[in-house]
Chains A and B, each alone.
Chain A
Amino acid sequence: MNHLVEAFDLLLDAESWSGPGGFGARMLEHLWYTALALIISSAIALPVGLAVGHTGRGRALAVISSGLVRALPTLGLITLAALFVGIGLTAPMIAFVVLAVPSILAGAYAGVESVSPATTDAAKAQGMSGWQVLIKVEIPLGLPLIIGGLRNATLQVVATATLAAYVGAGGLGRQLFLGLRTQDYPLMLAASLAVILLAIILDACFEFSQRLLRRLLGLV
């Protein structure tokens, strides 16, 4: 219990947030890693997921391959990647992208598939082209689920981004691994709490945007 109190003291101390190695800088770094991983994985997974949902082709392949990828242990993947690309951000980034892609992919095709076939059929019969059906009907109506996929991916990455420090990159993992090595448990705990806080804030942002979206789309 003492450790927990000390951890909170540490977090409430302005001193520990300042400076290039403080919680503030590390948290921004952590956020930046998370954002970068999401941008890269969205660039890969959104087009593929939307295409799978729109055409109905390659669904089995998408399901099986994302299941396979999900089963990969992230720490092992980081270590393996680091063997090839060396110490730094590249190896953990590869692992984060691999971690985020299945959720985003699943959200994208599930979102498009959730649109009633009668609605897309009607849109087509009014004279919308395939692209127009995708952009004007399937994406807007599937958006809550598509964002749900991004939300899952964000939570997974923000929690796992601590592992970046394992191969020499930054983020809140720095404090966590430092505390681990020096047996400074309050520091470790404080770093973990900071990650949890970040995860909760991000999740709340997603919750808010999903609600807002449902209202804007007239779905509630």
Chain B
Amino acid sequence: MAIDFQNVTKTYPDGTVAVDDFSLHVPSHTCTVLLGSSGCGKSTLIRMVNRMVDPSSGSILIDDADVATTEPVALRRRIGYVMQDSGLLPHRRVIDNIATVPRLNGESKADAHRRAHELMDIVGLDSALARRYPKQLSGGQQQRVGVARGLAADPNILLMDEPFGAVDPLVRVELQRELQRIQTDLRKTIIFVTHDIDEALTLGDQIVVLKKGGEVAQIGTPENIVEAPANDFVAQFLGLDSARRSLSAAPREGGGWLVSDGRGRPLGVVNAAPDQRSETD
């Protein structure tokens, strides 16, 4: 399930241009991260895929079929959607929240609940939580429920709109790791929106750095972007010009290298740089 944005523009009635002539190819079974600060149109872009927003011009294709020709409700039921603050229904128990889409698709309650229990297992939620209401869970648990709900109908495409933005940094790292593990097994086509550069570098097979108005600053793999930022904007956004990411290595007594950041703060040790391994051997 590849996704293509073709010359997409979105102008809101008040004249705000959220996205201007944006094109992108999202390959199947990979995770593409849209990275940018607020107001860069990244949420607008992701919401165009499931027609929560319709473009003013241009088109979005899923496996070469224009989404504009698909009825929005049917389209949304076959695309997983995970959002910030989980967006769970507060009056439904965890199990029923996860079973939402299968139930909408007409599955029996027993089947939908069985599937929901499987998903709780996949996203690492204790099945004892099934009968709880969302607000009886921690933020991190709620986001796991959100991910489970997004996966419930076994969609090929998963849209994730800053899903881990509201949880504390430790839990966020844990959730990212879980997502990577899930993605290794399930190989969905994921579009992931974030403003967190570390999150983008962790999760993205492809990263799209966005400026205001959905203007693409750079598209590339995490390695491309860190090694060769296309312009000052990208370098600045990544913090490449700041002390944090300009690392230096000094030879260490007894072999290997000591790595420090731009302020001279020691970060760690490289036992042997990969390209120099032959020399040290």
Contacts and interface: CB of A to CB of B under 8 A. Distances in A.
Contact of A125 (B74, B87, B133, B135): B87
A136 B99 CA distance: 14
Contacts of A123: 87, 89
A119 B91 CA distance: 11
B73 A121 contact: no
A107 B247 CA distance: 62
Interface residues of A, number: 19
A174 B92 CA distance: 49
Nearest to A136: B89
Nearest to A216: B91
Given A127-B101, A128-B104, A132-B104, A122 B76 contact: no
Residue among B87, B100, B101, B104 with the highest chain A CB neighbour number at 10 A: B87
B87 A127 contact: no
A202 B33 CA distance: 57
Given A119-B90, A218-B93, A124 B101 contact: no
A136 B104 CA distance: 11
B85 A118 contact: yes
Contacts of B133: 218
A126 B92 CA distance: 15
A46 interface: no
Contacts of A87: none
A219 interface: yes
Interface residues of A: mostly helix, strand, loop or mixed? helix
B47 to A, nearest CB: 8
B211 interface: no
Contacts, number: 58
Contacts of B92: 218
A137 B93 CA distance: 13
Interface in A122-148: 122-129, 132, 136-137, 140-141
A121 B81 CA distance: 11
Interface string A182-220: 000000000000000000000000000000000001110
Given A118-B85, A122-B83, A218-B133, A127 B77 contact: yes
Interface string B70-108: 000111110001010111111111000000110010000
Nearest to A137: B89
A217 B91 contact: yes
B101 to A, nearest CB: 6
Contacts of A127: 73-77, 101, 104
Interface string B197-236: 0000000000000000000000000000000000000000
In the A-B complex, the 7 residue pairs with the closest CB atoms? A122-B87, A127-B77, A127-B76, A218-B133, A217-B91, A125-B81, A129-B73
17 contacts: A118-B85, A119-B87, A119-B89, A121-B83, A122-B87, A123-B87, A125-B47, A125-B81, A125-B87, A127-B77, A127-B101, A127-B104, A128-B104, A129-B73, A140-B91, A218-B90, A218-B135
